[in-house]
Structure 1
């Protein structure tokens, strides 16, 4: 596979060749190279990446399991176009998982795990203005993944990773809002402060506010997209 200047997209640290290919396709989808509804041509993408069609096919299956791609019988897969209802339902579940993760992190997270969250936030803040948007987004998600990891509940960690995968594009769209930087930094700071103090109430309040803006931003995106389509028709 050709060099693509990628950092390992989280929460999917690629190991096998299909996972590496899926990682690059995932980044391309987030960056808009493959728009919602666009076909993912197996042969063309394999040629572009310098790989065979077999690992490309497996990579596409990985993205289909995450909900980023829709498989179609005897036709090329397409980039998923979830409805607002589908996305909002997923956000509702993800919110419950992240709040539970934070509660458990305050109760059972080790000092090293709390430090890992602090370090992830430090890197996110330090590199926010110097990295590509997709890279910054992945650093943001690393903070949330570190909180889930500190829950020390394997079922919760795996379920959270799965739900985060399904909302990867929605969270990216929310993070790209122009007004998000100051707000996200403020909310992250309060969340981290609460975790360091083991103050579950403060963490829950700050995290709830943070995730509520995710739903607001996603709703605004869908309403804006609907308006653009209506104007074009």
Structure 2
């Protein structure tokens, strides 16, 4: 997006590095070093780190360099629980309040995701997937709800991305996205609730499997 601020662009770059593992949990993010690497001043770098801290991807430390967060499965589960409540409520309101133009625009997003699946990089595809969910929430016409939903989506980015790359769930995601869109187009709140629950239940299982496999490897 061309209207992003410099700190937002830097945050995008760092976020990608974090979710892909270029910046691993516990890694120190030194403002000066990273600012020099990206050829920016320390001020926008500091603001970018604050953006990531709000998303739960980075932990700020007094008088010390911030580090990449390493949340436990229990912490991730708590975030998923809140996200589920937000997504269910925003989905119900979207069925009531979205304009036809909103629905057609989000349908076009869904069609584009299906079209490029397998033909673009994992991170690019993952970001399109997240944008799809955030677009539905935004169409609920409750700005505070949509903003809060977006924040919790971002708190799960790393766990969600890594769990998705552990095993190929693309066919399931495609099927569930299609079911969500079908409910959305019909403005069927009960079906929307059912499909969102199914989608997020699968997410929890993927993340649980990821943490279990990591524990077994230790």
**TM-score, normalised via structure 2 length:** 0.95
CA–CA distance in 1 between the matches of 2:39 and 2:48? 14
Say if 2:30 is the partner of 1:41. yes
Say if 2:28 is the partner of 1:15. no
Match of 1:210 in 2: 199
Note the residue ranges of structure 1 that are not aligned, 5 or more in a row.
Answer: 1-7
Match of 1:3 in 2: none
Contact persistence 1:194–1:200 (CA under 8 A): yes
Contact persistence 2:166–2:210 (CA under 8 A): no
Match of 2:19 among 30, 35, 48: 30
Match of 2:148 in 1: 159
Written as runs of structure 1 = structure 2, the 5 A alignment for 1:78-227 is 78-227=67-216
Contact persistence 2:7–2:45 (CA under 8 A): yes
CA–CA distance in 1 between the matches of 2:69 and 2:60? 9
Match of 2:39 in 1: 50
Higher RCO (CA-CA < 8 Å; seq separation 6+): 2
CA–CA distance in 2 between the matches of 1:51 and 1:28? 17
Worse overlay, 77-86 or 165-174: 165-174
Q: CA deviation at 1:213?
A: 0.7
Note the residue ranges of structure 2 that are not aligned, 5 or more in a row.
Answer: none
Contact persistence 1:120–1:146 (CA under 8 A): no
CA–CA distance in 2 between the matches of 1:65 and 1:198? 33
CA–CA distance in 1 between the matches of 2:45 and 2:175? 40
Q: CA RMSD in A?
A: 1.4
CA–CA distance in 2 between the matches of 1:103 and 1:178? 30
CA–CA distance in 2 between the matches of 1:140 and 1:88? 20
Q: Secondary structure at the match of 1:70?
A: strand
Q: CA deviation at 1:118?
A: 0.7
Q: Secondary structure at the match of 1:77?
A: strand
Q: CA deviation at 1:74?
A: 2.3
Q: CA deviation at 1:14?
A: 6.4
Contact persistence 1:36–1:81 (CA under 8 A): yes
**TM-score, normalised via structure 1 length:** 0.89
